[in-house]
Amino acid sequence: MRVLKFGGTSVANAERFLRVADILESNARQGQVATVLSAPAKITNHLVAMIEKTIGGQDALPNISDAERIFSDLLAGLASAQPGFPLARLKMVVEQEFAQIKHVCMVSACWVSARTASTPR
């Protein structure tokens, strides 16, 4: 069995994502393949920035919006290249995930703010 891992720039846009699909399809014809997909380019950096900004009492929304746009662009590109691509369903999944991220950042920011306010100086 072969294990193939892709992430970063190799899945950064629809064209590259489809290239990965071709590589996987080709390898699957030759035998069993396990696949690991990690975050598209810039997503990990945005996630780290979201955490750091939230802990630091800063606004993480620009990073959340940028990350959401990266996924939205990726899905739109895949939909235009692949007839029958389930765009609406996958957009809903991405929207739900980012709603959860926004909620976690908001709750965490409130906790950090309350903790900072109650800390004696």
Average pLDDT for 79-87: 97
Give the start-to-end residue ranges of the domains of the chain.
1-40, 42-121
Cα torsion at 49, 54, 58, 59 (round to 10°)? 80
Give 71's contacts (C-beta < 8 A, 6+ positions apart).
40, 43, 94, 98
Grade residue 108 by pLDDT with cuts at 50, 70 and 90: confident
* pLDDT per residue as tens digits for the range 38-56: 999 999 999 999 999 998 9
Average pLDDT for 48-68: 95
